Each structure stands twice: as C-alpha cells, then as structure tokens.
Structure 1
C-alpha cells in the first residue's frame, strides 16, 4: 500500500508498497478502492501539517497504470461513484497547501497520467516509461472533470494530441509537449524533484491551499460534478 516518508525538509509519498519494488497485489499501482483511500488519507496527513513540500513517486516499473479495470468490469453500476472517488483524489492533490512535485519514475497511463498532472511540477525519468492517455485506443470516454483537468494543465495542442491519438510520450517528448518540466536520469529523479519542491518551500501553508483552490476553481467545479450514469 502507498506510504509516506519524511526525507529531511521534504515529504515523499510513494504510490507502491514500502520495502518492495512491486507490490504483488497491485504491481502497477492501479486505482483500487483501498489504494484510493490510502493515498487520500496520506494527502490528508500532509494537509494537516502543511510545512514541507511533497514529492509523489513510486518504485519499480510503474508510476501508476490508472483505473482498476477489473473492478470496473465487475461493478458497472458502481462506475459513476468510483470515478467520483478518483476525482476527489485529484481535487485533494490540486489544492494541497504545500508545493507538490511528481517524480514520474515509470509508466503513467490514463488516470495515473492525470494524477501526475495534478502536481504543481513534474519531472520524468529518461531511461524508461511512458506518459499516455490511452482512452481513445481503448474505446473509453473521458469524464467532464478529466477533460477539464487535461485541458487546463496542458496546452490545447498537447491536450488534443494526447487525448485523440493515445500517443505514448517518453521523457524528452513529454518535455517538448509541456507535459513535464524536466527529464532526469533515474538516479537523480527524486533528488531533483525534492530540489524543485524546496525552491517553493517557504510558500507552504494554508494560504497556498486557498490560492490553489481559487486558481483552479472552474476545474474543481468540473471535478466535483457527479459522474452521470449515462457516461458509458
């Protein structure tokens, strides 16, 4: 399960399980219900004492492979509420009252790619992994909130290409498209993310959360709009 680590002046939230490269029960950090609850609780802990920048990363091959497709296939009637819970997680990260940096250590697909967009800044490893929105290739729609998130956080050209082509972006291509700010060797990935967070550390506190909420008010309104049962 995801865990929080305090590394000096920076907090680190790992999307996988402590002590292992891959969690055997959830090796690609999909958005299972227990995983969503765990990450949400950890973000609440950070928000309760907003003094340190937060780096969000994982170990192993995946940052996050996104939605729990097994759960969706077995619980079609529960899909709207499930997606609403995903949106709730996005809102928590978007409005966190500390600087946030996503250190994309591996594949970030679908909802996992969108989670990275919720951070203030993103860095991505150079050697391995893709950032991608595969929904078009999979025959899946985007929710209103997800579309708004992508459209808000990326340029129109990048959002159009990413959403309509399901392109897989390596680190350098992601920098070129403005999806991430920097491409970094894996050995420096988390350290560089921490440096970027520390540059903004003096701004941490409740006021930063208020500013983020005001800045992103239309996006948050879209994410807080209940998902209709007619989505699919």
Structure 2
C-alpha cells in the first residue's frame, strides 16, 4: 500500500478515497487536507459517479494532528486555508458521497464524516467533539452539520461536555444513516456507493445542492431552485431513458448524462 496520506482507487464508477495515516489514527495535517480536497475533485473529474470515503486502520479520523499544529500562528487562518476547503469541496462535488466510519471520528474528522450524504457507522465507532477539553471550539463546519441534523440541545451537549457519542446514539439523533456490524461495514457502504453510481448522476448532484439550500433558505427560495433544477434534470439523457424504460416496461440503464 502507498504511504500517501490519502489514497484513491477507482472501482467501476465508485471512487474509493481512503485516509491513510493509520499510525496517527488518520489525524489531519495541512498537506493531507489539501490532498484530500484535490483527490475528491480529481475523482469527479475522472468520471466517478459516487465516492466512498473511509479511513485505514482502526480509526476513521482522529481530527487535527496537534503535533503538526505546534507553532501555528493563526488557527483560524489554518481553518480557512486547509480545513474549510475540504468541507466546501464535499458540499460542491457533483456526485454523492458515502462515508464508511470504521472507528473514531473526532474533531474535524467528525465534520468530514458528517459532511457526506450517506453516513454508515460501524457499531464500535463513535463521534467526538473534544474541542472544549483543550480550550478550543468546534470547527470545520461541525456546529452547522450537527446542529442541523440533531438540534441545538444535542449539539450543545456534544460540544460543551466533549464526550463520545456512540454509533447507535448517533443514529437515534439523526446524525448518521445506518449502523452495521464492524465486519460488514465496507460491504454495506460499498453497496450503497455502487447503487448511487448506477443512478442518474446529474439529478443526484442537483438534489445535493437543493437540500443544502433548503436547510438554510426559505420555502420560496427552495421552490425556486427546485424549479431551476427540474428544468435541468428533465433535459438529461438519463431522464429520457427513465421515461422510455417506464413506457417500454423495462429496466432503465443510466449513463450519468
């Protein structure tokens, strides 16, 4: 296996992106974050129709590598230059992302996991916002991602107490999509990514964008972007194929166009 901190493997139309610093629990450095954002963009540019994001070893991602932060003059600037662009890239990607959370997802690692569209957690995995324990505040979008999904009370509990949230609790609070036995995590997650990769790709990308608008916008703004997106989706080859397949009583074959 390569010693690069982020790995990319194409499996059909699924791009498997793996955080690869297992000896450091996949803790994040500025260079690793920049490579992750570039790898996600490259996957879409190379024709992937879905991304499967996971971690190597026993953790998904332990958050920032504090040894790489020693001597950093401005933590806020590091967020703007390295962390936030990863979350922004994930949000702007034109293809869906499945996160397979194989272990601890802490700090910015929790943000990266929860920024995926479908989040599958192993039963032994957990989420952790430990920022307050070391005198810091949640970052990399964690406040928005958790607050929107779980609400104010749960967000404050996680952020103020800095305690682990186990997989089943994360599921009950609407933070993740599914919890599976550890041994079945990759099979289930890859199956979901493969299913998404075989669906109408343009429509899926538009759905991702309008959900983001709906979470922060008004009803009127949401309906307007729905109308815009429907005009785009209705002109795709995949939409025409779906209608033809329905009329001909056969299974549709989508190409992503």
TM-score > 0.5, shorter chain as reference? yes
Q: Partner of 2:195 in structure 1?
A: 199
What secondary structure does 1:116 align onto? Answer: helix
Q: Partner of 2:221 in structure 1?
A: none
Q: Partner of 2:130 in structure 1?
A: 134
1:91 to 1:216, Cα distance in 2 relative to 1, 3 A? same
Q: Does 1:4 align with 2:4?
A: no
Instruction: State which of 177, 183, 186 in structure 1 corresponds to 2:179.
Output: 183
- Matched residues in 1 for 2:50 and 2:134: separation? 36
- Matched residues in 1 for 2:214 and 2:126: separation? 29
Q: How many residues align?
A: 210
- Matched residues in 2 for 1:153 and 1:36: separation? 24
| Alignment of structure 1 residues 1-232 onto 2, 5 Å | 1-16=5-20, 22=22, 24=23, 27-75=24-72, 77-84=73-80, 85-126=82-123, 128-143=124-139, 145-201=141-197, 202-205=199-202, 208-216=204-212
Q: What TM-score does the superposition give when structure 1 sets the normalisation length?
A: 0.80
Unpaired runs of at least 5, structure 2: 217-257
Measured against aligned partners, the alpha-carbon deviations of 1:101-157 in whole angstroms (never above 9, x if no partner) come to: 11000111011011111000111111x332111112222123494422332343334
Point out the more displaced range, 42-51 or 100-109.
Answer: 42-51
- Matched residues in 2 for 1:165 and 1:153: separation? 19
Q: Which of the two has greater helix per residue?
A: 2
Measured against aligned partners, the alpha-carbon deviations of 1:16-48 in whole angstroms (never above 9, x if no partner) come to: 16xxxx3x4xx2112202211211111111221
- Matched residues in 2 for 1:204 and 1:159: separation? 33
What secondary structure does 1:57 align onto? Answer: strand
RMSD: 2.4
Q: What TM-score does the superposition give when structure 2 sets the normalisation length?
A: 0.73
Check conservation: 2:96, 2:208, Cα contact below 8 A: no
Check conservation: 1:101, 1:120, Cα contact below 8 A: yes
Unpaired runs of at least 5, structure 1: 221-232
Check conservation: 1:123, 1:183, Cα contact below 8 A: yes
Bigger CA radius of gyration? 2
Q: CA deviation at 1:180?
A: 1.4
